[in-house]
Amino acid sequence: MTSLRELQRDVRAALLGSDDAGAAALVAGDGLAPEARLQVYRHHVLTTLTGALQAVFPVVCRLVHERFFGYAADQYIRVEPPSGPCLFEYGATFPEFLRAFPPCRDLAYLGDVARLEWAMHRALHAPDAAPLGPEALRSVASEAAGGLILALDASVSLLASRWPIDAIWRANQPGEPEEGVTVDLSAGGVTLEVRRRGDDVGFRVISPAVHAFRRALAGGCPLVGATEHALAADPAFDLPAELGALFREGLPIGFTRSPSTREDDRCHTQPSVLTHPLRDCACAGPTSSRSSAACRCRSTSSCSVSPSPGCSCERG
């Protein structure tokens, strides 16, 4: 007697591979061969997941063209299938996959463009939180201020790339010509902040020092350690001005006090893209637009940035 776990394992292997032997024996023919039934199911799974990736990474799709994107997505899906039921959560590791994917070795910037697209997608789903006003820190003694750990808005991601990924992204939006537009890849890298303001997701270029400071804060570094990161990037970093900007922009949403005074305990090297949990949403597809009442989802077979609602689901 085949256990449920064994059944699920065999079906998964058949859908993500080409060996139907294990699962075919468990499928009733009933007018259509078990192998043919599995092939139909496999095609549906791969098509659905490829569409989900295209919806999240439309610029990547446009850069490599839909046919190659489908090939890359197929390879990714087989080694990194979804680990959860919500398709809008799928694709977090796709940028790293592209970075290591041999056919993309001549497109060194592609993984970073994908990171930017994922950060924007993630920002759309990040949980809401009320910003913290500067008056909340008035009770903190000045000598303890350096040990404060500021929690930043969950929609924020901070990216650093050696490529002008902001220009690449803008040159590949709907309405832009697909031919004749060039981006100077030798223009140098960029440090970006991605976040959601209200219902709108966007990004902006920030200085390396501000990037280092906010990246350290978002990773749990106290003010004194984050300041040292910023000063290492630019000795002229102005802490009072940056703190004022943080609160004006509504980025801090809370704070705690560091339990340690040792630098190696309280401040660690942070990843180049910082992530937060996505907003809970039982959704059949990746979100393309957002309102206060619901996540509006879509499925698409094209490489378009513009929303194309295909389903709706209540936000958790």
Token pair 């990004």 in the structure block, residue: 203
The pLDDT value given to residue 27: 72
190 bridge partner residues: 161
56 within a domain of the structure (yes/no): yes
Same domain assignment for residues 136 and 110: no
Ranges of the chain with pLDDT below 50: 261-266, 269-316
Is 68 in a helix, a strand, or coil?
helix
Same domain assignment for residues 104 and 159: no
- List, in sequence order, the alpha helices (H) in 91-133: 94-100, 110-125
Q: How many domains does the chain have?
A: 2
Same domain assignment for residues 149 and 261: yes
Say which DSSP state 123 is in: H
- Nearest-angstrom CA–CA distance, 213 and 209: 6
Task: Determine which helix (DSSP H) or strand (DSSP E) holds 257, and give its type and residue range.
Answer: strand 252-257
The pLDDT value given to residue 296: 31
- Sheet with 157-161, edge to edge strand ranges: 157-161, 190-197, 200-205
CB pairs under 8 A, 24+ apart, for 19-28?
26/2
Is 285 in a helix, a strand, or coil?
coil
Say what the pTM is.
Answer: 0.79
Same domain assignment for residues 148 and 15: no
Task: Determine which helix (DSSP H) or strand (DSSP E) holds 296, and give its type and residue range.
Answer: strand 294-297
59 within a domain of the structure (yes/no): yes
The pLDDT value given to residue 1: 64
- Nearest-angstrom CA–CA distance, 306 and 47: 20
Same domain assignment for residues 192 and 106: no
Q: Which two structure tokens, joined as six digits, stand for 109?
A: 């910037």
Reported as a single tens digit per residue, the pLDDT across 26-70 is 777 677 887 787 788 888 999 999 999 999 999 999 999 999 999
213 within a domain of the structure (yes/no): yes
Say which DSSP state 281 is in: B
285 within a domain of the structure (yes/no): no
Task: Determine which helix (DSSP H) or strand (DSSP E) holds 70, and give its type and residue range.
Answer: helix 66-79
The pLDDT value given to residue 19: 65
Domain that holds residue 179: 128-276
Same domain assignment for residues 95 and 182: no
Same domain assignment for residues 102 and 158: no
23 and 14 Cβ atoms separated by less than 8 Å: yes
- Nearest-angstrom CA–CA distance, 159 and 272: 5
Same domain assignment for residues 268 and 157: yes
Task: Look at residues 104, 126, 148 and tell me which one is the last residue of a structural domain.
Answer: 126
The pLDDT value given to residue 308: 29
Same domain assignment for residues 265 and 139: yes
- Nearest-angstrom CA–CA distance, 313 and 297: 7
301 within a domain of the structure (yes/no): no
Task: Look at residues 61, 94, 126 and tell me which one is the last residue of a structural domain.
Answer: 126
- Nearest-angstrom CA–CA distance, 240 and 230: 13
68 within a domain of the structure (yes/no): yes
Residue-wise over 179-198: b if at least 16 C-beta within 10 A, else e?
A: eeeebeeeeeebbbbbbbee
Task: Look at residues 102, 126, 150 and tell me which one is the last residue of a structural domain.
Answer: 126
Same domain assignment for residues 111 and 155: no
294 within a domain of the structure (yes/no): no
250 and 130 Cβ atoms separated by less than 8 Å: no
Same domain assignment for residues 152 and 237: yes
The pLDDT value given to residue 6: 78
Q: Which two structure tokens, joined as six digits, stand for 156?
A: 């924020």
Same domain assignment for residues 90 and 181: no
288 within a domain of the structure (yes/no): no
SS (H, E, C) 184-220: CHHHCCEEEEEEEECCEEEEEECCHHHHHHHHHHHCC
Reported as a single tens digit per residue, the pLDDT across 8-34 is 777 777 788 766 666 666 777 677 887
- Nearest-angstrom CA–CA distance, 150 and 129: 14
